[in-house]
Amino acid sequence: MQTSEQRILTTHVGSLPRPRPLADLLIGQERGEAIDEADMQRQIEAAVAMVVREQLAAGIDIGNDGEQPRVGFQTYVAQRMQGFGGESARPQPQDWQDFPDYAAIIKARRRAAKIFNAPQALAEVQYTDLSAAENECAVFLRSTEQAPRSFTEHFMTAASPGIIATTLLNAHYDSHERYIFALAEQMRKEYELIHAKGLILQIDCPDLAMERTYFFQNESLRRFQEMVELHVEAINQAIRNIPPERIRLHVCWGNYDGPHVHDVALEDILPLLYGARVGALSIELANPRHQHESRVFRQHPLPDGMLLLPGVIDSTVNYVEHPEVVANRIVQAVEVAGDRSRVIASTDCGFGTFAGSENVAPLVVWAKLRTLSEGAKLASARLW
């Protein structure tokens, strides 16, 4: 994994805005509607080429395909693996219960992808056909070869066993533990495919923070911490054949502009996150609820060799951060990390988490990525 040896490198968390026609196709496919597969493939290839160009134009060093072929960052799994059907009844977050007027606003602006009613596990989960994952990697790599210049490094996201288990709920296994380890063993195939293609693997793990207010909202903090440890153990089982330095772990509290008053504190989970056998930790440090928590890295320093990918851009609002604000956040992250080479500037989360449920306008997204790069240049001038 590249480090910031001569300047602060830039990246982002993964999902990027999809063109409306592609989003509509993905949503229709998820609903079981008949889709023109050739048209879908053409639109995916065009969308990936577009987001590659936009990332490079914005100055992003470490880029990906923007998750263009996926209807949701974790719900895509139900379309690639066998054993899922029906609908889950995912618990609504505590924020929605405490602030019903806020919940009404959110529900009104979300138009289609299955978030709280994704399929559930009705039988043994099996990942027997990797063709969709193969195609996603191939389209991305082909697009980068055709781009006017190259990324410093390429990454591909994949859902963690834990976020799959807490979204695509279990209606088959006799325990949460059995379900999550079954998912880990099956997702291992996708993780290893991504690694074999020469891509950095990013595992998306909002379950390690966000699920405190969703799936585990009625449990004690200690019980939630035990579940974090279990989920980290499942990740480690799934990545056992991949070198840690080729893996980055993304953790967040939910990519929505809500109250977030019930979010678990970073200090309560950070030592547990360090149990993951990975080379980099991507975490939110820009939004109003968590930007103060960079100080926790002084209390719990990064393990030797682990990189920090701090969120220095809020992915839920249409404000475009000033480059000086971004630079200040980067410098603060370097101070707590203790080494400028171990910091890669990033965003809090993705900008296209689910098709049809974006918070930030596409043109604003590209402006935010440009200001990320501008802020990284300012920070580099200070740090070098």
Chain segment 61-95, per-residue pLDDT in tens: 999 999 999 999 999 999 999 999 999 999 989 99
Q: In this structure, what CATH number is given to the domain that contains residue 352?
A: 3.20.20.210
Give the list of residues 6+ apart from residue 341 with CB closer than 8 angstroms, or none. Answer: 3, 4, 5
Residue 30 belongs to some domain of the structure: yes
Q: Which of 153, 154, 187 is nearest to 78 (CA)?
A: 187
| pTM for the full predicted model | 0.97
pLDDT in tens, 261-314: 999 999 999 999 999 999 999 999 999 999 999 999 999 999 999 999 999 999
Q: Note whether residue 122 is domain-resident.
A: yes
Does any domain span residue 134?
Answer: yes
**Residue 49 confidence (pLDDT) above 80:** yes
* Residue 6 tokens, joined: 């001569």
At 111, the pLDDT band (50, 70, 90 cuts) reads: low
> What pLDDT is recorded for position 297?
98
CB-based contact 294:310 (threshold 8 Å)? yes
User: Is residue 129 included in any domain, yes or no?
Assistant: yes
- Give tens-digit pLDDT for 178-196: 999 999 999 999 999 999 9
Indicate whether 287 belongs to any domain: yes
- Above 90 in pLDDT, residue 358? no
Crossing angle of the two packed helices 37-58 and 362-383, in degrees rounded to 10: 30
Q: Cβ(252)–Cβ(73) under 8 Å?
A: no
CB of 16 within 8 A of CB of 67? yes
User: Token pair for residue 359?
Assistant: 């918070």
Domain extent for 188: 9-383
In a domain, 3, yes or no: no
Number of structural domains in the chain: 1
* Whole-angstrom distance, CA of residue 148 vs CA of residue 170: 46
* Residues 26, 47: Cα–Cα separation, whole Å: 13
**102 in a structural domain:** yes
